[in-house]
Amino acid sequence: MELLNKVSVITGGTSGIGKATVLRFVEEGAKVVYCGRRSDKGLELQKEIEAAGYPGKALFFNCDVSNEDEVKAMADFVKSKFGNCEVLFNNAGIHQAGKLHETKPADWDRIMNIDLRGAYLVCYYFLPQMLEKKYGTIINMSSVSGLLGDTEMVAYNTAKGAITNMTRCMALDYATDGIRVNAVCPGITRSEIVENTFTSVQGAEEKFKQAYPVHYIAEAVEIANAVVFLASRKCDFINGVNLPIDGGITAHTGQPYMGNY
């Protein structure tokens, strides 16, 4: 088991990639505290894990990562239950479409407060635990949209672009403290939000499939498996990496295929 007894924190852990990662971590023997804003879904997952008899343990903590007091309380909770955090997966996030002039200041602030400031706050309150232990690994949730631009996604892409560079800076700052910092940058991945898009926008799923070289949509567990790898001691020399998990879409220049001409 790759994460046996590793004290781990996963934000946004009640659905999608976060939930898949919680399940993979307890499969690998970790002691996990995962958070979310929906207590019903969080406690439902906790009961599911307890009933399944995984080798690891998991506890739900109700927390909005944009609320500093709640994040601080979560850090105290983790330390009291399991000890100092060793693995942190900053996964919580939301997105909203729109050009800049269509994005109201309140919506811009909401994206930044959860996707960017939330990641900052969680790191701010858990890094002291890692520094005390002289060991830790942080995996931030960026996106292919944090590496390249998308049409009409300016707020989300701005937040994820900031996460991408925050990851690099943190990796440099804490490398001599035994703390590694990397990020995963998924492409299109099945989740509640994505499935709602596929349902509400006719032809959306097929368009996404055609846009990706592999011509399929990733499952959440595929991203979770990469997070497990980055959290393990098998890759202690990987630091400061923003890892695309994107079916090859960022490998392409975007220029059209002309066929045999």
Residues assigned a catalytic role: 156
- Taking the C-alpha atoms of residue 121 and residue 128, their distance in angstroms, rounded to an integer, is 12
Radius of gyration of the chain (CA): 18
CA–CA separation, 116 and 219 (whole Å) = 24
Q: In a 3-state reduction of DSSP, which class is residue 197?
A: helix
State which amino acid sits at residue 210: Q
Alpha-carbon distance of 46 to 33, in angstroms, equals 10
Q: Which class for 15: exposed (0-12), middle (13-18), buried (19 or more C-beta within 10 A)?
A: middle
d(CA 157, CA 153): 6
What single-letter DSSP state applies at residue 114? I
Residue 213 is classified by DSSP as: T
